Structure 1
Amino acid sequence: MRPKFSKFAIIAAAATVFVAGTVSVQAKDSRYSLGSLAEGTTPFLVNTAWANAVNKYVPGHKVQVSAVGAATRHALLVSKGKMDFTMYGPGLYFLMYQQIGPYRKHKEGPQTVKKISTLFSYPMGFYHPVVYESSGIKNFRDIKGKKVFLGPPAGVATRNARLIVEAMTGYLPGRDYQQVKLGWGPAQTAFQDKKFDVWITNTMAPSPAVSQLVLTNKIRLLPLDSKNFSHKSWKRYVGSPGTVRTKIDPKVYGKNLMNKEPILATGSFVGLAVRSDMDADLVYKMMKAFWDHIDEAHAMSKSMSKTLTLKLAVAGMSDPVHPGALRYYKEKGINIETPYKLTLAQREAFRNRAKKRKRK
């Protein structure tokens, strides 16, 4: 029997309606949609905290979290005005602007990124390649012939996980292992039910989802091997902006985590973004509601106090930053690090390098 995620059941229920801590929605309330990754992930917690703050402290405005689909799709919906908020970041900006990866068929990258404005950034977390100890899998090379979840189809996390696995092993999905194609939530449930072998999820440590799993199961995290950082796939992965490396202390998951040494891992910065055409005064009020009551967000999870800080909020943003957010940071006396931005000249140079690689 898989463990019950009682805490997340509460949060997920709150995300499908107007999240907790609000009064009943009146007909006059303006409603906004926020695309999110699934429960148990860092973005889900951050997005739920944002919705909680707006719903509680900005009268007449209600945010609804939708934990369905991939961030790549959410970003396009925001650019088209069909969604209001989305997880976003330098990595997504890079892929969209360059029209590569999940956006290779999208023809208006440089124009699209102008329609999505950053509010703040935060470390999304680190890739946790989780296996059951009973599987016998000790390192990445042991996954040959196994069923592996990399992330949702067409997601940036999936692209990154595929490159990481390829760098560590040389393995390709469909040839050396079977790629499990599910969304974040269904994949988490399926792994609890032991329907596949390797679950790669991107979250802060300690991860609430992994912490719940390790309560009743002996598990292992597959560590990166720095000897493989010269591999071309690793270079492609770190070539996207916002990537970071860390070591996860095994103590954060307790005695049922079988790793005895710190686990070398990698992750990325992401953030919350909004439609560029949203009213600046309204965005300012939302920013103020969120950051002036950040202690309420920190109370949601042990990792949130390390995830959400004003220092990190301006450390990994992409261009443009919404005027309402800029007003809030200026009011607080916070200097913003230069947001990540590409030019058409850089785009052309990138494409020329790609063409040369293909000819070789």
Structure 2
Amino acid sequence: LVGSGTEQNARQILEAYGLRFEDLGQAIRVSATQGIQLMQDKRADALFYTVGLGASAIQQLALTTPITLVAVDLAKVQALAKKYPFYVGCNNAGGTYKGAEVTTPTVAVKALLIASEKLSADTVYKFMKAVFGNQEAFKKIHPNLERFFSLRKAAKGLPIPLHPGAERFYKEVGVLK
């Protein structure tokens, strides 16, 4: 979709390879659902989709359409992360999707929680403690949290400053000094 996060991610990843959308031939901007439908109907050859590993939409696509995951060179990811610190390299484990049995290096986008400066430090601190205070319970929400989330990593490479309430929480749990 025009202006979507996926479009920006695709543009930035292509940039790491010295490419632009125009270099791909015909590029159309549609919703993820429409993109998957176009792939199933064999009216599209590829799609960019920023989504968590194991996403049901891709799993469903793989059940009806042979798919190939395109590897992202981890050296390119490192260069990309210098300019855009919210990117990290990771591996899409083989077997995550039907037909994609080989582990594939890819790029991940760090998710951010953003709070208004107008929120009190106490409110943000209480929120952080409620959400992240029990890591065992928090990581049970989704399998990718168990695999990838770490409080220590969450406070690194941020493109914006921490809210004072979040900073207090991270200091309390020993992530920041």
Q: Does 1:179 align with 2:27?
A: yes
Out of 274, 283, 292, the residue aligned to residue 133 of structure 2 is 292
Deviation of the 1:265 alpha carbon: 1.9
Q: Does 1:269 align with 2:118?
A: no
C-alpha distance in structure 1 between counterparts of 2:139 and 2:37, whole Å: 26
Letter in 2 for 1:200: F
Out of 152, 156, 160, the residue aligned to residue 315 of structure 1 is 156
- Structure with more of its chain in strand, by fraction: 1
Contact 1:242/1:316 (<8 A) preserved? yes
Query: SS at 2:61's partner residue?
Result: helix
Query: SS at 1:311's partner residue?
Result: helix
Deviation of the 1:317 alpha carbon: 2.4
Residue deviations 1:252-291, cap 9 Å, x none? 33xx324x54323223333111111112222222112211
Q: Does 1:243 align with 2:92?
A: no
Alpha carbon RMSD of aligned pairs, Å? 3.3
Contact 2:72/2:105 (<8 A) preserved? yes
Q: 1:257 maps to which residue?
A: 99
Q: Does 1:283 align with 2:124?
A: yes
Larger radius of gyration: 1
Residue deviations 1:155-207, cap 9 Å, x none? 45423423434655x65434642222124455455545555321212234333
C-alpha distance in structure 1 between counterparts of 2:9 and 2:82, whole Å: 9
Q: 1:123 maps to which residue?
A: none
Long gaps (5+) in structure 2: none
Contact 1:164/1:237 (<8 A) preserved? no
Out of 13, 21, 25, the residue aligned to residue 164 of structure 1 is 13
Contact 1:163/1:237 (<8 A) preserved? no
Change (3 A) 1:188 1:324: farther
C-alpha distance in structure 2 between counterparts of 1:286 and 1:279, whole Å: 11
C-alpha distance in structure 1 between counterparts of 2:141 and 2:33, whole Å: 19
Out of 292, 301, 324, the residue aligned to residue 142 of structure 2 is 301
Change (3 A) 1:194 1:281: farther
Q: How does 1:199-210 map to 2 (within 5 A)?
A: 199-210=47-58
Letter in 2 for 1:257: G
Percent sequence identity over matched residues? 26
Contact 2:80/2:87 (<8 A) preserved? no
C-alpha distance in structure 2 between counterparts of 1:290 and 1:245, whole Å: 25
Number of residues of Structure 1 aligned to a counterpart in Structure 2: 176
C-alpha distance in structure 2 between counterparts of 1:167 and 1:326, whole Å: 32
C-alpha distance in structure 2 between counterparts of 1:166 and 1:321, whole Å: 28
C-alpha distance in structure 2 between counterparts of 1:171 and 1:313, whole Å: 30
Residue deviations 1:204-236, cap 9 Å, x none? 433343234334443110123579x5xxxx956
Residue deviations 1:300-346, cap 9 Å, x none? 3321212333222212323321122122223323326xxxxxxxxxx
